[in-house]
């Protein structure tokens, strides 16, 4: 039996950025991916004789993206990127994120009924709003828009924490779902756009200083950088 610790799809899709000082630009393919289940691993292993790794499964190719233009399809299993073996989603996302925009690379996939295919993809820069989401995710949290919070109406424009990943740096710092973010690294943020701008400029090699409002009271939190995660 092949065993692997599986993360929830949303979390897996959000994580996996390289920890680089003041990094604000990452490579991007334009796909949503997930890890394989144990049953899928067994099936792929039997069908293709793969034992060295299992890859990242594409569950959606976004329209008008590098992946779509290159011919990648839903259901493709990415097993190599730039001649580097892909074992899981985290590995693939780190490889893609570290690739300079404009560089053409070879992506090797396993496609049902067609077998192994090698496709050339021209990597593009990740849209800035997605960079902000992934920076937050690497620290271990997700920010939601005011309209997404139905149970606790808040003043228009004020962003709040939707999810805190268990055992993440954000979790260890004491951040909680429902916390309203009012400052990022000393910079006031009164809208989702302001939070995004602040996160894009934060980088991943320094602590993230957050001021949140919890039950009406301000609270200062310092989130350690992802590079200091405890194994």
Please calculate the CA angle 156-201-210 and round it to the nearest 5 degrees.
55
Q: What is the mean pLDDT of the chain?
A: 82
- pLDDT score of 24: 56
- pLDDT score of 39: 81
Residue linked to tokens 């756009």: 193
Structure tokens at 7: 């993360």
Task: Tell me the CATH number of domain 9-125, given options 3.30.70.2190, 3.40.50.300, 2.30.42.10, 2.60.40.3080.
Answer: 2.30.42.10
Is 36's pLDDT higher than 50?
A: yes
Banded model confidence at residue 82, pLDDT cuts 50, 70, 90: very high
180-231 per-position pLDDT tens digit: 999 999 999 988 888 888 988 887 788 999 999 999 999 999 999 986 443 3
Domain map of the chain by residue range?
9-125, 128-228
Q: What is the pTM of this model?
A: 0.66
Give the best-scoring range by mean pLDDT among 11-15, 16-20, 162-166, 169-173: 169-173
High-pLDDT (> 90) share of the chain, %: 47
> Distance between CA atoms of 98 and 100, rounded to whole angstroms?
6
Q: Same fold for the domain at 9-125 and the one at 128-228?
A: yes
> Distance between CA atoms of 32 and 58, rounded to whole angstroms?
6
- pLDDT score of 211: 96
Cα within 13 Å of Cα(127), Cβ side: 9
Task: Tell me the CATH number of domain 128-228, given options 2.30.42.10, 3.30.1330.90, 3.90.700.10, 3.60.40.10.
Answer: 2.30.42.10
131-165 per-position pLDDT tens digit: 888 889 889 999 987 655 444 545 555 788 989 99
Give the SS3 label for residue 81. strand
């Amino acid at each position: 039996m092949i065993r692997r610790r599986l993360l929830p799809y949303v979390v897996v899709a959000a994580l996996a950025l390289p920890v680089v000082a003041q990094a604000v630009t990452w490579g991007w393919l334009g796909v949503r991916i997930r890890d394989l289940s144990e049953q899928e691993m067994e099936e792929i292993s039997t069908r293709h004789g793969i034992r060295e790794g299992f890859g990242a499964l594409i569950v959606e190719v976004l329209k008008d993206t590098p992946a779509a233009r290159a011919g990648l399809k839903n259901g493709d299993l990415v097993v190599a990127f730039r001649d580097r073996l892909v074992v899981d989603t985290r590995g693939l996302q780190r490889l893609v994120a570290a690739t300079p925009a404009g560089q053409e690379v070879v992506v090797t996939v396993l496609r049902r009924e067609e077998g192994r295919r090698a496709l050339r993809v021209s990597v593009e820069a990740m849209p800035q709003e997605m960079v902000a989401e992934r920076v937050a995710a690497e620290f271990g949290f997700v920010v939601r828009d005011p309209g997404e919070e139905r149970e606790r109406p808040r003043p228009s424009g004020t962003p709040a924490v939707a999810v805190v990943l268990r055992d993440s740096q954000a979790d260890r710092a004491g951040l909680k779902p429902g916390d309203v973010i009012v400052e990022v690294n000393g910079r006031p943020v009164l809208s989702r756009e302001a939070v995004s701008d602040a996160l894009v400029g934060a980088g991943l090699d320094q602590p993230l200083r957050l001021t949140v409002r919890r039950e009406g009271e301000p609270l200062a939190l310092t989130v350690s950088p992802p590079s200091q995660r405890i194994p």
